[in-house]
Structure 1
Amino acid sequence: MNDTMLLNVTGKTALADGIYQFEFRSPDGKPLPPFTAGAHVLIETPSGIGRRYSLCNAPSERDRYVVAVKLDPGSRGGSVSMINDVKVGMRIRVSVPENYFALTDDASDYLLVAGGIGITPIHAMMAELDARAARYRLVYCTRSPETTAFLAELSSLPSSRVQIHHDYGNSDQSLDFAKLLATREGNTHLYCCGPRPLMQAVRNNASGWPSLAVHFEDFGTSVSNGEASSGFTVTLQRSGIRVNVAAGQSILEAVREAGVETPSSCEAGTCGACRTTLCSGEADHRDFVLDDDEHDRAIMICVSRAKSDELVIDL
């Protein structure tokens, strides 16, 4: 991890069923590097796995970083290690914040849509928008009150500002995104973070909105579209290296194992940092960045796979 700090764990609190909040401060009490709403940090868990988590506290708080982590028993151990192994008093390696999900300054209104643990960057956005005295509305979708982070705080806000929707695990009770996104008022910008099905529903129903006014982020809390049951080959055009991508392995992971470094950030197909030119082959696009007319010339290698036996990419 580059540009990292060893920070003290100064707080660990249960926010909801399976969700814990962690607070980090500098050992010497000095201010931490600044961040803006929507930023994330990379945390090295006690298991040695690095995971990205959105900062959910107000950007004006220079003395601490706060993240919320949802336990995912099906994960490779990042959230399990955070929740089971991290204790108050420990020192944890944390990166300097990065932001690929920043708020624009020139919107007339902001529509914030969160699903589950996707509330974390949105929570920081609310604090920043309050500081700006900007107009915004939050729509927060969760399974039940018991699984809703920041429930007491958000429930205390006016219903004109915050709408909390529970589907109780029943798709028939899902929020009507077609109605929510049917019209865009003024220069409203939409920010969405949550599980992939929710983000896809928002994307589908916001198709009439200008693309530059719709912003997505997630951190691997959702299940990828489609299956990753078979492997394929990727040829790196510039170096001539052929890389075998195994079932369940991302192109990004396979390329790194081959010793080729390439930029990435969210590793969930939403930030665009790993965008790579697609030279040939048919990709199975699973990102939330590329428009349909870009699919034959670009690929997000953190999540997308191949429909053909081989892809050639510009690395």
Structure 2
Amino acid sequence: MTEDTNARAMKITGRRDLTPYITEFTLVATDGAPLEPYGPGAHVTIETPSGAMRRYSLVGDGLDPQTYVIAVKRERESRGGSSSMHEQAEVGRTIKVQPPENNFSLKSAPKYLLIAGGIGVTPIYSMASRLAADGKDFDIIYCSRSAEEAAYLSDMKVAFGRRLKVHHDDGDPAKAYDFWDHFAEIKNMHVYCCGPKPLMDEILSISGHWPEGRVNFEDFKPVEVVRVDDVAFDVELAKSGRTVTVPADKSILEAVRESGVKTTSSCESGTCGSCKCRLLGGDPDHRDMVLMDDERDDFVMICVSRAKTGGLVLDL
């Protein structure tokens, strides 16, 4: 579990299934104090019922929020976060929620192109709502496997009409939407894209000739926490004298947490530095985006990093 003093307790007051794999949750502060406003593209970090920390985009305009609304996709290869939300986050349950953050905020532009893929629609929906309210010029391209799996599709059709272009590929790569016509010529507009990695990789590759800052991405998985060739290894916890085995499909943080040892964490994606731990021995496989070169012999980010060979000794 986390020890973040900025987190506040929020109760789940609403829950509805948007698709067979995506569920929407409505959260209300238990202390009755006003919620912090947020801009479109913002997200919150939530301590899920499993104890895993996960980031979810906020739905809504965020100007004077009475609730926070998130949509959670149950990932097929969930390591506990999304699956525990779907299985255990029932109405009435209280969870810890950190204040909104926004690394995907709208910039001033004469025109906008919003691109959503799958669950990536949540920040895009919020952006489109704000742009529509402000009378801005924008278009949306919403790609999904099928209409049944497209969250908020009916609401967006009503709200945005002809501005919304919908494309379903039935899971067939040969039927993927062709974005080239939108990027062949540099246009005086800003692009915002959120979706699965293949979609964002494609947009990145075909927009390389655009000026820097014009094409923007939201990606909650900047570090691949678990890889297909990972193997199990042991971690010795020096303070307690215990040894914990880290399975091939889990992080050090997850294994240590499940062993009953409390640890501090936040992003759990190698980007924030909250889980920084002193390294006392072993050959680490650093996978974070935080540590400086001169720190890598003495510290390790236990949310993403592993052992190259043998095991590790940590100051825990």
Measured against the shorter chain, the TM-score band is: 0.7 to 0.9
> C-alpha distance in 2, partners of 1:278/1:181?
37
Amino acid at match of 1:207: G
Q: Which amino acid aligns with 1:118?
A: G
What secondary structure is seen at the aligned counterpart in 2 of 1:80? Answer: helix
Tell me how far apart the structure 2 counterparts of residues 9 and 219 of structure 1 sit (CA, whole Å).
23
Aligned equivalents of 1:28 and 1:302: distance in 2?
31
**C-alpha displacement of 1:35:** 1.1
Per-residue deviation at 1:144? 0.2
| Deviation, structure 1 residue 302 | 8.2
C-alpha contact 2:58 2:68 (8 A) present in aligned 1: yes
Report the equivalent of 1:203.
204
Q: 1:191 to 1:166 in 2, by over 3 A?
A: same
SS of the residue corresponding to residue 213 of structure 2 reads helix
Q: Could you tell me which residue of structure 2 aligns to residue 21 of structure 1? A: 24
| Residue from 30, 55, 60 that aligns with 2:33 | 30
Residue matched to 2:289: 274
Could you give the per-residue CA deviations for residues 154-210 of structure 1, whole angstroms, max 9, x where no partner exists? 222455411111000111110002222222322x11111110011101101111111
Note the C-alpha offset of 1:246. Answer: 9.2
Q: State the distance in 2 between where 1:86 and 1:227 align.
A: 28
Unmatched runs of 5 consecutive residues or more in structure 1: 232-244, 255-260, 280-300, 310-315
1:1-315 map, 5 Å: 1=2, 2=4, 3-104=6-107, 106-157=108-159, 160-186=162-188, 188-220=189-221, 228-229=228-229, 265=267, 267=269, 274-275=289-290
For the residue of structure 2 that corresponds to 1:149, the secondary structure is coil
Q: Distance in 1 between matches of 2:47 and 2:175?
A: 38
> 1:243-297: CA deviations, max 9, x gaps?
xx9966779999xxxxxx999858388xxx9355568xxxxxxxxxxxxxxxxxx
Distance in structure 2 (CA, Å) of the matches to 1:43 and 1:11: 16
Query: Which letter does structure 1 place at the counterpart of 2:131?
Result: L
Structure of greater relative contact order (alpha carbons < 8 Å, 6+ residues apart)? 2
Per-residue Cα deviation, 1:101-141 (whole angstroms, up to 9, x for no partner): 1111x211111111000011111111221232221111111
Q: Which one-letter code corresponds to 2:30 in the other structure?
A: P
Q: Which letter maps to 1:77? A: G
Aligned length: 274
Gaps (5+ residues) in structure 2? 232-245, 256-262, 272-287, 295-301, 310-316
SS in 1 for 2:193: strand
Cα distance in structure 2, aligned partners of 1:146 and 1:268: 33
What TM-score, normalized to structure 2? 0.73
CA contact (8 A) 1:136 1:161 kept: yes
Aligned amino acid, residue 147 of structure 2: P
Q: 1:305 to 1:160 in 2, by over 3 A?
A: farther
Conserved in 2, the CA contact under 8 Å of 1:36 and 1:59?
yes
Which residue type is aligned with residue 48 of structure 2? T
Q: Is the 8 A contact 1:55 1:120 kept in 2?
A: yes
Q: Is the 8 A contact 2:223 2:304 kept in 1?
A: no
* Cα distance between partner residues in 2 of 1:151 and 1:211: 31
Q: CA RMSD in A?
A: 3.9
- Report which of the two structures shows the higher radius of gyration computed on alpha carbons: 2
Paired residues of 2:179 and 2:203 also in contact (CA < 8 A): yes
- Aligned residue identity for 2:12: V
Percent of pairs identical after alignment? Answer: 41
